[in-house]
Amino acid sequence: MNISYGNPDLSTVIRNTVTAGYRKSSQKWNIGINLSGFFTTNNIERITFMDGDGISHSTYQNIGKNQSFRLNANFSFRQGQKWSINFNGGTAYSHVAYSESGLSNSGVSFQGSCNGNLMPWKGSTIFAGIFLFGGDVSLQTKYPYMYMTNMGMNQRFLKDRFSLSLSISEPFRKNMVYSYDFSDPTFKSHSRMVQFVRSGNINASWHFGKFNANVKKARKSSSDDKMEGGNSANSGTIR
C-alpha cells in the first residue's frame, strides 16, 4: 500500500546564493553574524501521490521552486580556564511551491545549540548543553520542533593519568514524541513516533607512558658556511 522508489532522471540543482557577514573577536570572546538568501528553480523535492487503487507512491522530482532566507549567529566567551560558553544557531524562512499541482508550503525553521563548561576545582570539568532543531518544510509537510539536552562531569586524577567521566542524555524526560502530517488535495496521513531517549554513560581511562617530541633544529650557517657547504657537497661530505 506504500511504495517508494528513486528517480535516475533527476538533474543537477542550480542554486543562487547571496551572503553578507560580520565578525568581531577579542582575547575572551568572538561573535559572528551571517545573512543569506537562497534561490532555486529546480529543487529536488520528495513527492507522494495516490493512484486509482489507493496505493501511495513516493519519489523525487525536480519540481520545487524554493526561496529561503537564513540568519546565522555564533558567540563564544571564555574566562580563562574557569568557565566558557558557546552559542551557535540559525533561523530561516523558506517558501517552496510547485505551480503545476498548486502545492505550496512555507514556514520558519530553527537549528541551534548552547554549551557551557565549568571548572570548579583543579582537574575537573562540568558541562551541559541543549540542541534545538526543526521546522523544515517541503511541498507536503512541515517537520516539528525538537530539542535534546545533555550534562555531565569529568575528573582527572594522579597527575592527569587517570580520568573518570559521567554523563546523561535527556535527564528531564524519558521519551521523545515526533509527529507530523503529510498531505495534498487528494489525501492526508499522520505519522507519530515515540522514542526512548534517556541514557547514561560512564567512561574511565588511564594514560600509560610518556610522549616527548624532540625536534633537532638546523644549525644557522653563515655565508662562508653556505659556500663551503656547496664545495663539500661535491666531495660527498655532509655538513
Helix (H) or strand (E) holding 154: strand 145-157
C-alpha cell at 229: 657547504
Dump pLDDT digits (tens) for 27-46.
899 999 999 999 998 889 88
C-alpha cell at 89: 544557531
Question: Residue 9: pLDDT band by 50, 70, 90 thresholds?
Answer: very high
Question: Which pLDDT score is estimated for 219?
Answer: 60
Question: How many Cα neighbours within 13 Å face the side chain of 22?
Answer: 5
Give the CA radius of gyration of the chain.
29
Dump pLDDT digits (tens) for 221-231.
554 544 444 44
From 139, 49, 60, 61, select the one nearest 94 (Cα to Cα).
139
Domain ranges of the chain: 2-232
Q: Are 95 and 70 in contact (CB under 8 A)?
A: no
* Backbone angles phi and psi of 226, in degrees to 5: -65, -40
Is pTM beyond 0.85 here?
Answer: no
Dump pLDDT digits (tens) for 200-215.
999 999 888 765 656 6
